[in-house]
Amino acid sequence: MEKASMNDLENLAARRGIIIPAFKPYGELAGFYDYGPIGTAIRNRLENHWRSTFIDKLGNLELSTTIVAPEKVFEASGHLANFTDPIVNCKKCHASYRADKLLEEFYEKKGDKKMAEASRHMHMNELDEEIKKNGIKCQKCGGELSDAEPFNLMLGTKIGPYGGVQGYLRPETAQGIFMDFKQVFRDGGYKLPLGMGQVGKAFRNEISPRRMLIRMREFSQMELEYFFDPESEELEINGATVKDSMFSEKINVLTAEMQENGSEQKYVEMSVAECMSKGYVPNKLFGFCLIVEKRFMEELGFSSANIRFRQVLKSELPHYSKGNFDMEVDFFGSFEEVSGTAYRTNFDLMNHQQKSNSDMSVINADKKLVPHVVEVSFGLDRLFWTMLGELLFKDGERGWNVLKLNAVTTPYDYALFPLQKDESLREKSLEIRDALVAKGMRVMFSYSGSIGKRYAKADETGIRLAITVDYQTLEDGTVTIRDSYDAQQKRVKIADI
């Protein structure tokens, strides 16, 4: 099988109702998408695997914090002053564009991957220079574009019956965790390092939403804030000391130096220990998180060759960070960020301490400190979309595409099909379904349409195993199990499923 195309993915998402443009009867509003039943089932599996990996197995805690916060929270966090993207406006029709993405798309169409990549990291004056040099005009009317300027991405709202309090929809889930950290830590009697995570909605007033779920205005994040003592020499996770041998694991790295020198290489392979020794990775906890992220992605089905960790340039570091790596995946020829790992130091807690006049310090091992933080932040929607792109294949023999999800992310453990519309087959199928559901399995039951069409739907929507109940089932208690990966079938006893 060969990899499917971006058009194949978009067509599948629309045809099978995996992704649905929000408010569709009224016309699309860019940057907002709904998930259909299959999409929701896959996303729930993805979310649950994140929870298993980053919360349960690491002994961390999960919170659920509010979406709306008062203005002073984001003044302290720095988002009101620093959370911006470069915007250019058409002087004629007043259409708006994100300057770096406009330039990136221009170079992608020219086939200049080097400059397309460089466009992502340019300063505003560099963007202006490149846009003018290449004569880039408004895509709608051909008008001249203004100089780039910063545009704040926060979505505001008024709180109270008369709008007396200015508030904002959160642009990240992290600030709620910082607000609650001290109370949770103290009340639970925990010790550092301790991770606190959550899954939830975030909102950004994106200038140019694009590529469907890649850049949205309402999206979901899976974030983990790992609080730790930066002076601790040993790293202990969930009661066990992390051995130095773990850091011999290799990852694909695009260093800042490679980017600044315009390297043609996508990445170089090096151990996390080497990354730490060269100063790319700021501390052990950060390196540990990179390894967990890589393994998590491989468990989802991503090829290690399609995953890289890009060292974020100093010029593009977030205002709170002393070191960032973006984990990017090869998505139909261009690398797209799906998670960011940031060394936030104690920037957030110290700022909230200063602005709120509340002590954010804790006692850990008889030492009073304001902990530092390593953050691992996944974009759930981006991860969902790039995973489908990674695992969608074309099968010329079958005449339809195959979504090769594994047991971690398949929307259903089994598809269950009576071979024909026969009451005896239907009743036996329902009996099998109820038995599987009682075992905690998710089953998609369908008896309408030809068996071929039902196989096609299961293949395209990532249900790996399909059980077919036929007349032999009634005689000897066996069924056919078909594997969508290769369309091979085998007979097994019902009791062995």
DSSP 439: T
Which tens digits make up the pLDDT trace of 405-430? Answer: 999 999 999 999 999 999 999 999 99
Q: Does residue 168 share a domain with residue 126?
A: no
The answer to whether residue 320 sits within a structural domain is yes
Which tens digits make up the pLDDT trace of 340-377? 999 999 999 999 999 999 999 999 999 999 999 999 99
pLDDT in tens, 374-387: 999 999 999 999 99
Q: Is residue 89 located within the same domain as residue 74?
A: no
The pLDDT-based confidence of 262 (bands split at 50, 70, 90) is confident
In this prediction, residue 338 carries a pLDDT of 98
The mean pLDDT of the chain is 95
**136, 152, 168 - which closes a domain:** 152
The shares of helix, strand and coil residues in the chain, as percent rounded to the nearest 5, are 40, 30, 35
Going 448 to 453 to 456 to 461, the CA torsion angle's sign is negative
pLDDT in tens, 238-252: 999 999 999 999 999
**Confidence at 164, pLDDT banded by 50, 70, 90:** confident
Provide the pLDDT for residue 86. 95
Note the pLDDT of residue 246.
97
Q: What per-residue confidence (pLDDT) applies to 318?
A: 80
41 with 189, same domain? yes
**Backbone torsion region of residue 185, taken as left when φ is above 0, otherwise alpha when ψ lies between -120 and 50, otherwise beta:** alpha
Asked if the structure places residue 422 within a domain, the reply is yes
- 362: in domain: yes
pLDDT of residue 163: 83
Domain assignment of residue 402, yes or no: no
pLDDT of res. 415: 98
| Neighbouring residues of 99: CB distance < 8 A, sequence distance ≥ 6 | 86, 87, 88, 124, 127, 128, 131, 148
118-124 average pLDDT score: 88
Same domain, 439 and 484: yes
Residue-wise pLDDT for 87-111, tens only, equals 999 999 999 999 999 999 999 999 9
For residue 216, pLDDT beyond 90: yes
Identify the pLDDT of residue 353: 97
pLDDT digits (tens, 9 = 90+) for 263-303: 889 999 999 999 999 999 999 999 999 999 999 999 999 99
**130 and 238 part of one domain:** no
Domain count across the chain: 3
Contact 97, 196 (CB under 8 A): no
Decide: 264 and 227 in contact? Cβ < 8 Å. no
CATH code, domain with 337 = 3.30.930.10
Which pLDDT belongs to residue 2?
Answer: 94
pLDDT digits (tens, 9 = 90+) for 303-323: 999 999 999 998 888 888 888
**Rounded (10°) angle between helices 124-133 and 99-110:** 40
The pLDDT, as a whole number, for residue 113 is 83
pLDDT of 78:
92
- 263 lies in the same domain as 362: yes
Q: What residue numbers bound the domain in which 472 lies?
A: 412-496
Could you tell me what percent of the chain has a pLDDT over 90? 91
* pLDDT higher than threshold 90 for residue 208: no
The domain that holds 433 is classified in CATH as 3.40.50.800
* pLDDT tens digits along 3-37: 999 999 999 999 999 999 999 999 888 999 999 99
Closest C-alpha among 88, 109, 110 to residue 99: 88
Domain annotation covers residue 59: yes
Token duo for residue 346: 């104690």
Say how far apart CA 378 and CA 140 lie, in whole Å. 33
CATH code assigned at 99: 3.30.40.230
In a domain, 399, yes or no: no
Dihedrals φ, ψ of 488, to 5°?
-80, 150
Whether the pLDDT of residue 436 is over 90: the answer is yes
Final residue belonging to a domain, choices 98, 126, 152: 152
Look at residue 457 and tell me if it is in a domain. Answer: yes
174 located within any domain: yes
Which ranges constitute the DSSP H helices of 265-379?
A: 272-277, 284-300, 347-356
Same domain flag for 88 and 63: no
Structure confidence by residue, pLDDT tens digits, 139-153 = 999 999 999 999 999
257 with 314, same domain: the answer is yes
238/162 same-domain check: yes
Of 121, 152, 183, the residue at which a domain comes to its end is 152
| pLDDT score of 68 more than 90 | yes
Q: Say yes or no: 483 and 428 in one domain.
A: yes
Whether residues 192 and 283 fall in one domain: yes
If asked whether residues 47 and 112 sit together in one domain, one would say: no
pLDDT, tens digit (0-9, with 9 covering 90-100), for 443-465: 999 999 999 999 999 999 999 99
pTM for the full predicted model: 0.93
